[in-house]
Amino acid sequence: MSPQMAVPTEKQPERRPMMFPFLDLQAQYGSIKNEILSAVSRVFQSQHFILGPEVDNFETEVAAFVGCRFAIGCASGSDALVLALMSLGIGPGDEVITTPFTFGATVGSIARLRARPVFVDIDPVNYNLAPAQIPAAMTRNTRAIMPVHLFGLMAEMDAILEVANTAEVAIVEDSAQAIGASWEGHPAGTLGAIGCFSFFPSKNLGGAGDGGMLTTNDAALADRLRILRVHGSRTKYSYEAVGMNSRLDALQAAILRVKLRYLPTWTAARQRNARRYRAMFLENGLNRYVQIPEEDARRNHVYNQFVIRAPERDALRSHLQRAGIPTEIYYPLPLHLEPAFAYLGYTKGDFPQAEAACREVLALPIFAELTEGQQASVVAAVAEFYGHKITF
């Protein structure tokens, strides 16, 4: 093509700069900056960067916060899932039941150990694993069930526990988005054999990089997890098992220890913002157009995400973007339709609820520092898309 030739392009609609971020980590940091810098300085003064006292103390504090006997730090939430399955001896020929509506690490952890992920569809209201569908997916090779406490809302654990206990299979809770959540008073990460948490920066308790944690009430499992995260070694150059390098950095532990003290306050702010969204949508009749998260007295929702649902999701998101409103899609494609998992043999239509959710869900800003005015601008923009007049 000649460099002088102009290529016609379709004119794109003008988009305003975002009025505020989807997640304002700078605002969070500004409120605790001096404490964070002091914690980082403490680590540099010690020159102890991997495991050690900071990690030991953080593990103790997380165990107390979650309400379990043992907490074991690791390098990431993804590694936590892999380590959990490794500690249970899951490998080739084994099957693990989970959801197709989740982040790729959930299913990737199963596949990495050459076990087989087996999918079960989701509940269309809370987006978690549908317990009633689990028994039909179980076979003689089923070794574990991995429910995901999605968006900060725990799965229906009573029913899942009943199935697991009857079949004598383990439960590994993917609690990456759910620290502080609970089911009928039982905290996330305490009802299964092992709970797995992520401290990715966007999580409710987020570090300055990757980090993860495993929780358990089983002393033998805790001991095995500690060995597996350090190359399968209890003492230097002595290997009891084939493990991996997945140690939590002391810098991350020190930072997270500061943030853990504020987590209850931040969680309460997210829950306040969720109530405010709900009131704004309901009082203005916008629930006629979009589905909003329901409250459930059995569950303490910590709102890692506030997810609405609309058949016109893509058009709505484009409208909000033009209005300067940030949104995210969790998740655009169910995992059974992702190329990485095509070998499992699933096809479109196998899990209709998950597929429909991927077409329709939209996450709105919900971070603790979000103001009432910012939330009003979000709701007003949604109303504008539907041509609906509102008053605040």
Q: What percent of the chain has pLDDT over 90?
A: 92
Instruction: Give yes or no for residue 9 having a pLDDT over 60.
Output: no
Model pLDDT for residues 71-94, shown as the tens digit of each residue: 999 999 999 999 999 999 999 999
**Model-level pTM?**
0.94
C-alpha 154/C-alpha 152 separation (Å) is 7
User: What contacts 24, CB < 8 A, 6 or more positions away?
Assistant: 367, 369, 370
Interior angle at CA 115, CA 114 and CA 119, nearest 5: 130
Cα–Cα dist 251/237, whole Å: 25
Q: Could you report the per-residue pLDDT of 238-297, keeping only the tens digit for each?
A: 999 999 999 999 999 999 999 999 999 999 999 999 999 999 999 999 999 999 998 899
Task: Return the pLDDT at 15.
Answer: 58
Provide the pLDDT for residue 14: 56
Going along the chain from its start, the domains and CATH numbers come out as 25-121+128-256 (3.40.640.10), 262-385 (3.90.1150.10)
> Could you report the per-residue pLDDT of 318-375, keeping only the tens digit for each?
999 999 999 999 999 999 999 999 999 999 999 999 999 999 999 999 999 999 999 9
Confidence tier at 158 by pLDDT (50, 70, 90): very high
